[in-house]
Amino acid sequence: MKRLELHNLKVSYGQRTVLQAERIAFERGRFYGVVGPSGSGKSTLLRIINLLEKPQTGTLHFFGTELDLASLSYQKGLPIQRQMGYVAQKPAMFQATVFDNVALGLRYRKRDKKAIRPLVMDALELVEMASLANQRADTLSGGEAQRVALARALVFEPALLLLDEPTASLDPYNISIFERVIQTIHQERQTTILMITHNLPQARRLAESCLFVYQGEIVEQAETESFFNRPASPMLQDFVLGRMIC
């Protein structure tokens, strides 16, 4: 199965189930927007896919590899996790230069030393941060740090890019760079992208398909145009019209 799929998923904390789904499927090479009210389970979904957390039950089909998530060992998950890039809303920078922050993922992946410099500089060029390669990453502005986080996720050419509200705290200039880069990457490398956003116009601009997460369930998934123009469920209708009290 060359898709990304989750089957029989259940994520609970204590007595409370925060995310459940019989089947969630993503086609390879597509750009998905993930929207829904605060607390609905969007970040949980991305963390589960990124193997950062274990659900109570669930099987992940990662483009041909099947993993039982509840019993997955770190060692078995690592080669899959290394095919995913993840950018959080507020990325943590390592206390090192911008260059080293981006190079680290390649070093972990044991890439040839000579190949590392050009790959890092290409990734930094892409996000317009090459001129700051030698600056300490912990001194960057929020927008700069977010662009470096994107370069760090892209440098190893992940099959899957997971973005958790990556532009939520950025100004329009940094948002436009960020959006341009992810669109370019998606078109040129056919990277599968899942992007959580509260910015509905942004989901409309970028995503080919959208998912609506509501109270721990995927209530609706559709092509972006019909998702926004012809939402099927009353909950999504309320959400896109801004009538939902979150």
Ligand X SMILES: Nc1ncnc2c1ncn2[C@@H]1O[C@H](COP(=O)(O)OP(=O)(O)OP(=O)(O)O)[C@@H](O)[C@H]1O
Select from 22-30, 41-49, 136-144, 234-242 the region that touches ligand X (CB under 6 A).
41-49
**CB nearest Mg ion: which residue?**
43
Query: Is there binding between residue 167 and ligand X (CB under 6 A)?
Result: no
Strand order through the sheet with 16-26: 16-26, 4-13, 57-62, 65-68
What radius of gyration, in Å, describes the C-alpha atoms of the chain?
Answer: 18
Q: Please, which residue, 13 or 94, has the CB nearer to ligand X?
A: 13
Select from 38-46, 101-109, 133-141, 204-212 the region that touches ligand X (CB under 6 A).
38-46
Please, is 130 exposed, middle or buried when counting C-beta atoms within 10 Å of its C-beta (0-12, 13-18, 19+)?
middle
Instruction: Report the distance separating Cα 96 and Cα 82, nearest Å.
Output: 21
Q: Please, which residue, 18 or 130, has the CB nearer to Mg ion?
A: 18
Q: Which residues bind Mg ion (CB under 5 A)?
A: 43
Query: Is there binding between residue 44 and ligand X (CB under 6 A)?
Result: yes
167 binds, among ligand X, Mg ion, none (CB under 5 to 8 A by kind): none
38 binds, among Mg ion, ligand X, none (CB under 5 to 8 A by kind): ligand X
DSSP string of 47-100?
A: HHHTTSS--SEEEEEETTEEEESTT--HHHHHHHHTTEEEE-SSPPPPSSBHHH
To ligand X, the closest distance from the beta carbon of 217 in angstroms equals: 12
Query: Is there binding between residue 146 and ligand X (CB under 6 A)?
Result: no
Reduced to 3 states (helix: H, G, I; strand: E, B; else coil), residue 155 is coil
Residues 6+ apart with CB under 8 A from 218: 21, 24, 211, 212
Q: Please, which residue, 40 or 202, has the CB nearer to ligand X?
A: 40
186 binds, among Mg ion, ligand X, none (CB under 5 to 8 A by kind): none
Which residues form the interface with ligand X (CB under 6 A)?
A: 13, 18, 36, 38-44
